[in-house]
């Protein structure tokens, strides 16, 4: 089995979420906390299915909310390529949080990060993807009156003075220990985490009083926020709370969807034909031959196609279970299962693309000047 690697810049191998939880020191979302969230969010598929499954200090944040000390949301995107389905999932959940709690959202695009950590992207490339990604963010449906999109380089005037306050409290040995940097890592990488910390307290800076912050994110980003949480109290701010999700797998074998392997991801700019081709070619939990599959059944647990139904494309628990069972019993063949998925993904993307077109006119409403 491939070794598990989960860092903010690399996700590889079969992911053992229990182990990650322990290693990172996260708490599982228990029944009580889930119920508390569901009171506001309703019967949310991401909570019900354990896709958002871990957190830091979420109980505290909700206690504060009950005391009318309202929080804001912070999430982000590294503009290293086109947006794919895997990116949309936490954004959709963030939108649901925004609607349910009626909160402000600060959305950060780390254009600096993607330049510093890439061996191929120029500043111009990153800027291009920033503009493209912004359309997808808007297309998710965030409230323009309550959402601010920042990019690190364009909004440096606001961000940099705050980032240096954070940076002063991070030593090179901490950065090495948390992120695995070496002496030959470029110095921009070493500084970068201080930029990702800024949106976790920018609202407090702007408001001139402490405002609680909740960060929804995929679990690989947690190392940044571990550091952020250590430092913010030293600057007089709250530690941010956070809520973590699992990854949507790519259409190839193991790991998350990776833009570096375009045929394993479904991008928001893909045509219906692309979607069909990619799904048809996808890895599955199926057997070598039809006969074998009829006899032995498939393995939905390792199947990305099943994961797509699970994460986004089958809301009905009974129908999902039925699919699982029919696969295991050798009744459902991969070809048929893929045929069920293709039109759902095509429809989802078509609707997203329509909103993405409309987003072009809305950009200025979301950007911070």
Rg (CA), the chain: 21
| CA of residue 46 relative to chain centroid, distance | 12
Residue 28 — left, alpha, or beta (φ > 0 → left; ψ -120 to 50 → alpha)? Answer: beta
- Given 78, 223, 240, 255, the residue binding ligand TRP (CB under 6 A): 78
Who's near 228: CB < 8 A, 6+ residues apart? Answer: 166, 193, 196, 197, 200, 239, 240
Smallest distance, ligand TRP to C-beta of residue 196, A: 5
- Residue 87 vs 278, nearer CB to ligand TRP: 87
When asked if residue 81 is in the footprint of ligand TRP (CB under 6 A), the reply is no
As given in the structure block, the two tokens for residue 182 are: 């070496």
What does the per-residue mask of binding to ligand TRP show for 320-359, with x meaning CB under 6 A? ----------------------------------------
Neighbour-count burial of 164, counting CB atoms closer than 10 A to its CB (0-12 exposed, 13-18 middle, 19+ buried)? exposed
- Given 34, 55, 56, 77, the residue binding ligand TRP (CB under 6 A): 77
When asked if residue 84 is in the footprint of ligand TRP (CB under 6 A), the reply is no
Stretch that binds ligand TRP, among 55-63, 69-77, 269-277, 286-294 (CB under 6 A): 69-77
- Given 83, 98, 103, 110, the residue binding ligand TRP (CB under 6 A): 110
Stretch that binds ligand TRP, among 25-33, 105-113, 248-256, 318-326 (CB under 6 A): 105-113
Smallest distance, ligand TRP to C-beta of residue 60, A: 19
Smallest distance, ligand TRP to C-beta of residue 45, A: 20
Neighbouring-strand partners of residue 7: 10
DSSP 240: P
- Given 47, 166, 197, 215, the residue binding ligand TRP (CB under 6 A): 215
d(CA 188, CA 113): 8
Smallest distance, ligand TRP to C-beta of residue 64, A: 20
DSSP 221: G
- Given 196, 241, 258, 307, the residue binding ligand TRP (CB under 6 A): 196
- Given 57, 112, 113, 203, the residue binding ligand TRP (CB under 6 A): 113
Neighbouring-strand partners of residue 107: 75, 149
Smallest distance, ligand TRP to C-beta of residue 155, A: 13
Note whether 72 and 106 are within 8 A (CB): yes
Smallest distance, ligand TRP to C-beta of residue 133, A: 10
As given in the structure block, the two tokens for residue 351 are: 């609707």
Smallest distance, ligand TRP to C-beta of residue 368, A: 15
* Size of residue set near ligand TRP by CB under 6 A: 12
The DSSP annotation for 114-147 comes to: HHHT-SS--HHHHHHHHHHHHHHHHHTT--GGGE
Neighbour-count burial of 122, counting CB atoms closer than 10 A to its CB (0-12 exposed, 13-18 middle, 19+ buried)? exposed
Smallest distance, ligand TRP to C-beta of residue 338, A: 29
When asked if residue 255 is in the footprint of ligand TRP (CB under 6 A), the reply is no
- Residue 210 vs 259, nearer CB to ligand TRP: 259
d(CA 296, CA 294): 6
Stretch that binds ligand TRP, among 12-20, 74-82, 154-162, 340-348 (CB under 6 A): 74-82
What does the per-residue mask of binding to ligand TRP show for 217-236, with x meaning CB under 6 A? x---x---------------
Note whether 142 and 105 are within 8 A (CB): yes
Neighbour-count burial of 236, counting CB atoms closer than 10 A to its CB (0-12 exposed, 13-18 middle, 19+ buried)? exposed
DSSP 5: E
Residues that bind ligand TRP (CB under 6 A): 8, 75-78, 108, 110, 113, 196, 215, 217, 221
């Amino acid at each position: 089995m491939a070794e598990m690697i989960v860092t903010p810049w690399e996700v590889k191998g079969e992911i053992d979420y229990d182990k990650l939880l322990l290693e990172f020191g996260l708490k599982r979302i228990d029944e009580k906390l889930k119920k508390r969230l569901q009171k506001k969010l309703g019967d949310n598929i991401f909570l019900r299915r354990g896709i958002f499954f871990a957190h830091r200090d979420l109980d505290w944040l909700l206690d504060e909310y009950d005391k009318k000390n309202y929080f804001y949301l912070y999430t982000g995107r590294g503009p290293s390529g086109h947006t794919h389905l895997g990116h949309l999932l936490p954004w959709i959940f963030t939108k649901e949080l925004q609607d349910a709690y009626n909160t402000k959202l600060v959305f950060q695009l780390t254009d600096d990060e993607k330049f510093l950590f890439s061996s191929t992207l120029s500043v111009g490339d990153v800027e291009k993807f920033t503009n493209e990604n912004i359309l997808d963010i808007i297309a998710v449906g965030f409230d323009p009156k309550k959402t601010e999109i920042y990019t690190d380089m364009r909004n440096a005037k606001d961000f940099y003075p705050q980032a240096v306050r954070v940076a002063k409290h991070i030593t090179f040995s901490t950065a090495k220990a948390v992120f695995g940097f070496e002496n030959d890592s470029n110095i921009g990488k070493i500084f970068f985490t201080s930029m990702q910390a800024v949106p976790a307290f920018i609202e407090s800076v702007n408001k001139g009083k402490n405002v609680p912050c909740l960060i929804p994110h995929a679990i690989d980003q947690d190392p940044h926020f571990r550091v952020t949480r250590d430092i913010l109290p030293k600057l007089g701010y709250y530690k941010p709370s956070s809520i973590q999700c699992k990854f949507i797998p790519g259409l190839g074998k193991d790991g998350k969807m990776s833009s570096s392997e375009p045929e394993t991801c479904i991008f928001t700019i893909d045509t219906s034909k692309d979607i069909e081709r990619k799904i048809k070619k996808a890895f599955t939990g199926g057997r070598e031959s039809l006969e074998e599959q009829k006899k032995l059944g498939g393995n939905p647990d390792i199947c990305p196609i099943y994961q797509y139904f699970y994460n986004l494309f089958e809301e009905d628990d009974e129908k999902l279970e039925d699919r699982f069972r029919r696969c295991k019993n050798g009744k459902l063949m991969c070809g048929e299962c893929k045929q069920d998925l293709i039109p759902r993904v095509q429809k989802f993307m078509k609707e997203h693309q329509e909103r993405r077109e409309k987003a072009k006119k809305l950009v200025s409403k979301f950007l911070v000047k």
